[in-house]
Chains A and B, each alone.
Chain A
Amino acid sequence: MTLLEARNLGVGYKIPGPGLFSASRMLPIVHDLSLSLEAGRTLGVVGESGCGKSTLGRALLRLIPPSAGQVLWQGEDMTLIPDLRRRRAEMQIIFQDPVAALDPRMTLARIVSRPLSTFEPNLSRVQVRARAVDALQQVGLSADFADRFPHELSGGQAQRVGIARAIIGRPKLIICDEPVSALDVSIQAQVINLLMELQEKMGLALVFISHNLAVVRHISHEVMVMCLGRVVEQAPRDAFYARPLHPYSQALMDAVPEPNPKRERGRVGTALAGELPSVLNPPRGCVFASRCPKATDLCRQTRPELREVAPGRQAACHFIET
């Protein structure tokens, strides 16, 4: 069953105009993006800073209103869902900075159970407390964490609390916005394993937003690569990692340093030259043309459309043969 669907979604932010008194204008961040996600599946969204992946995550939950297109939740247009606030029990989000996401003055039990006051306002205090303890235990924190405060937690524990808060309303979807980027390697692995276990147990769908291609490979079923607000490639995980088709995906893959000196020695000196263009001044052709080793005049003039390049695979490049 399709849980979440985006159709030609566009998202932008209002920024001040060029002059002091000129009207503000819309700065587009995400362009014409479509996706669909089923229960129990993980869509990995990868891209570098400023590619629009976090903005996409927020727009999918309608925390930011879209400027174009629509988002459907279980087939219903999100703008038309009555009492969306309460339906948000079904769709949750966890963030990169786990400590900043927790109110320092609240006990963990209160932090974790806070969403219930909106989602299930009729619960008794005892029931709420029991649900909080249960949620903490599901993320691997013992019941005695319930009365602690955020400053007593390590980064990994704080992220577990963020996850406990997300699952307390028994969601169907969690948007994970760089949830392990701030964590140490040994803790990152614990949190990734936890998310995968919860997914299996609860049938959760995940949108896993990350700059780390290796982490995304581990957790995702489907991978979407974004560059400057556009999808440049989308494919099932195994096919994608076996052979990325878009030159940008290939460049990202080559740039990731693996813990393997034999592979890495051969890669010294192969970095892409140049920098990504600015969102403020996007190129009219392909978003990757300024850095692409294969770019021609065609790429600089005409933006390649995202098209099916193999069964179940899409890419936006003029030069991928189908």
Chain B
Amino acid sequence: MTAEPLLSLQDLTVRFRLPQGETVAVDGVSLDLAPGEVLGIVGESGSGKSQILFALMGLLASNGRAGGRALFQGQDLLSLSEPELDRVRGQQISMIFQDPMTSLNPYMRVVDQLAEGLIVHKGLSKADARAEGVRMLDRVQIPDAARRARLYPHEFSGGMRQRVMIAMALLARPKLLLADEPTTALDVTIQAQVLDLMAELGRETGTSIILVTHDLGVVARLCDRVAVLYGGRVMEEAFAEPLFDTPSHPYTRGLLAAMPRLEAPLTPRLGTIPGTPRSGGGDLPGCPFAARCTERLDHCTTTRPALLATGPDRRSACHLTGAAL
């Protein structure tokens, strides 16, 4: 990475206190995001992928605690006070969620929800803020935006609601957009529209995007670079094309083999990964994936593989691929 990163996660951890003890959801994740870059964080349930975003936004559940550093333009987000964080959250970093309906206020007209942020954070007048809101709705291809802006969220379809969320997130012209499974609840044709929109807006405004998803197809369509997460740790990180062309980590290879496809030759059975995804892996001495890995070596369960360079701009955390062996 040549340019100064916009965001640099350094040994980020997220722990939750539970009645039965502490659990580690994110376990020492280090990732850089360049300005204008789209980074995909992909993983199954319990991989900790969404908790990374929640930690950055100061939105962890009350029993959760983030450690390490998250440098955004050189400033550690994890050490900011609530008022300081509010200034960053409204203006420089925005977030969109999987379910737009629960993120929108059902009692407020869409235009007023759009305007609210501009009034609070940018000091615009109500009229100007509303006009800006309508412009942004038009920008995200809500047909007949001026009329629709006066409607309530329930009067929008799921795809339109997600576009309203994107409009709202981009109104403040943030430098960084965090998207947590933004298209998972949408039909494929609507998902394609929303992904197109994110790609286009990212390109136009230079906004960097972190896209958290379980869907490797969505990653392939939108992301420049990909980090594959398992048990709270990065298993593999690479640019999208090399990652999909020559996946090196056994987990990445397993995931790709398990995906049914439209265009690859059919096989009698899909590839499988035995067992069930685990949540967190911080309590394990070895690799969190070792229990499910078909290529496991003796020391995989006892010694944790470091995330090491396996080529230019590529890293993998596996004793099989690591340069250390």
Contacts and interface: CB of A to CB of B under 8 A. Distances in A.
Q: Do A and B bind each other?
A: yes
Interface of A: 48-49, 154-157, 184-190, 192-193, 196, 211-215, 217-218, 241, 251-265, 267-273, 275, 291
7 contacts: A192-B270, A214-B261, A255-B191, A260-B244, A263-B263, A275-B159, A275-B160
Interface string B157-191: 11110000000000000000000000000011111
Interface stretch (B65-73, B131-139, B195-203): B195-203
A264 B221 CA distance: 5
A189 B267 CA distance: 12
Interface stretch (B82-90, B145-153, B210-218, B280-288): B210-218
Given A185-B216, A259-B219, A261-B244, 12 more contacts: A185-B259, A189-B259, A189-B273, A196-B269, A212-B260, A217-B262, A218-B260, A257-B215, A258-B261, A262-B241, A268-B195, A271-B196
Contact of A193 (B157, B222, B270, B276): B270
A156 B190 contact: no
Contacts of B271: 189
Contact of B187 (A48, A217, A254, A265): A48
B262 A256 contact: yes
Contact of B192 (A156, A254, A262): A254
Contacts of A261: 220-221, 240-241, 244
Interface of B: 44-45, 141, 157-160, 187-193, 195-196, 199-200, 214-222, 240-241, 244, 254-263, 266, 269-273, 276-277, 292
Interface centre among A48, A156, A215, A268, by most chain B C-beta atoms within 10 angstroms, is A268
Nearest to A241: B262
Interface centre among B256, B261, B271, by most chain A C-beta atoms within 10 angstroms, is B261
Given A157-B276, A193-B272, A261-B240, A255 B188 contact: yes
Nearest to B271: A189
Contact of A252 (B189, B221, B222): B189
A217 B220 contact: no
* Chain A, interface SS category: helix
A215 B266 CA distance: 11
Contacts of A214: 259-262
A49 B187 CA distance: 7
Contacts of A273: 141, 193
Nearest to A196: B269
A260 B263 contact: yes
Contact of A255 (B44, B189, B263, B269): B189
Given A185-B44, A186-B277, A257 B258 contact: no
B255 A186 contact: yes
Given A185-B255, A186-B273, A269-B196, A259 B261 contact: yes
A141 to B, nearest CB: 12
Nearest to A212: B260
Contacts of B219: 259
B192 A258 contact: no
Interface centre among A185, A187, A188, A268, by most chain B C-beta atoms within 10 angstroms, is A185
Contacts of B196: 268-271
B270 A258 contact: no
Contacts of B159: 275
B34 to A, nearest CB: 18
A229 B193 CA distance: 23
Given A211-B187, A218-B260, A190 B272 contact: yes
Nearest to A154: B276
Contacts of A265: 221
B220 A215 contact: no
A156 B276 contact: yes
A212 B254 CA distance: 20
A218 B271 CA distance: 12
Contacts of A264: 217, 220-221
Contacts of A255: 188-189, 191-192
Contacts of B263: 258, 260, 263
A211 B266 CA distance: 19
Given A271-B189, A271-B192, A275-B160, A258 B217 contact: yes
Given A48-B188, A214-B260, A268 B199 contact: yes
Nearest to B185: A49
A53 to B, nearest CB: 12
Contacts of A211: 187-188
A184 B44 contact: yes
B276 A187 contact: yes
B164 to A, nearest CB: 14
B220 A259 contact: yes
6 pairs of A and B residues whose beta carbons are closest in the complex: A257-B217, A189-B258, A271-B192, A48-B187, A189-B270, A264-B221
Contacts of A262: 241
A220 to B, nearest CB: 11
A291 B257 CA distance: 34
A252 B190 CA distance: 10
A65 to B, nearest CB: 28
Contacts of B256: 259
A259 B259 contact: yes
Given A48-B187, A184-B277, A260-B244, A189 B272 contact: yes
A10 B23 CA distance: 52
Contacts of B241: 261-262
Given A214-B259, A214-B260, A268-B195, A257 B189 contact: no
B44 A260 contact: no
Nearest to B226: A261
